[in-house]
Amino acid sequence: MEGEDNNIYLIAGATGSTGTHITKSLIAKGKIVRVLVRDEKRAKSLLSEVYDKLESVIICDLVNDLNYKEKLKQALAPANNRKVTFIISTLSYNWDKAITCYDGNVTTNTRLIEACTEAGIQNIEKFVLLSSTHVRRPWSYVSITCNINKKGMQWCKVIVEDLLRKSGLKYLIIRPVGLNRDLNAKETGFTLDQGDKIEGMINRSTVGRLTVDTMLDKHIPDNTSYECISYEQDLKKDYNYVNGEIKLKPETEEEKKLIDHLFPARVVEYSVYLAISFSIFSIFYMAGKNYLARRIGLRN
């Protein structure tokens, strides 16, 4: 335990596959944690070992609750002379729920970011956003696949990043690469890098703990983004983060530019449609040509 401080750490999406690890890691460090979740029963189940240690639990569906603004004010309100100074958003699209990718990513995060700015950006020490790899690679197969339908995943992620930058909040954007499907896999070795690196896989538990450690690392400058990647040869290494050892740079103006992920996806989509249409036309054309040839042959 590192001892408590006077900050309240608000985790939005604390029952997600990575959010649970972030919550448990902060609690393990003795921090004062408040969570924003949609389902209290799910929270009690997934956070059972730390549930009684939470400062408070705010139940709010940021997409469907008509009173979400009041709930967010409650989530950001001071308590016992302590302020909510760290915001960690793991809000994202839940594949097994009847919610659009846009609502799950953009609507939820937009409302959270707006609530933070209304509460006063000077009161927020850092807004930590869990984003995704490939957000700076619109022509990658991952981006094209995710955005082949309108308002796809990578497009939504980059929109949220842009909204955060424009809000004026001090931020830390974390982009994990492929996540290990084993939700309980132990923390492993990792590599931090910048420039939208995409190699390897990483465990959710490692991402959770790494999120907390980099958020608390005073040596990492504000308005920074990084990729947490894990190469295959590092998977057997123990988790070994050392405060102050990682050297990261703030985002450049070039890195802050909004990237269009929909155009490449549309190009591929329309190219596929065109190829299919041409193939169908060719089939009917050849069939018609053969039919006419047979008819002419019979007449002769």
Q: Say if CB 197 and CB 229 are below 8 A apart.
A: yes
| pLDDT tens string 125-146 | 999 999 998 888 888 888 888 8
**Residue 211 CB partners (closer than 8 Å, separation 6+):** 18, 22, 25, 88, 128, 130, 174
Distances (CA, A) of 289 to 34, 284, 298: 72, 8, 14
The domain defined by 7-260 folds into Rossmann fold (3.40.50)
The pLDDT of residue 234 is above 80: no
Instruction: List the chain domain ranges.
Output: 7-260, 262-300
Tell me what pLDDT residue 4 has.
52
Where are the strands (E) in 46-125, listed by range? Answer: 56-59, 83-89
Interatomic CA distance for residues 117 and 175, integer angstroms: 23
Interatomic CA distance for residues 90 and 207, integer angstroms: 11
Per-residue pLDDT band for 200 (boundaries 50, 70, 90) equals confident
**Residue 146 CB partners (closer than 8 Å, separation 6+):** 134, 152, 153, 154, 155
**Residue 152 CB partners (closer than 8 Å, separation 6+):** 101, 146, 261, 262, 265
Per-residue pLDDT band for 292 (boundaries 50, 70, 90) equals confident
The larger pLDDT score, comparing residue 259 to residue 150, is at 259
| pLDDT tens string 212-231 | 999 999 999 999 999 987 76
Q: Take residue 248 and report the two structure tokens written for it.
A: 């990261």
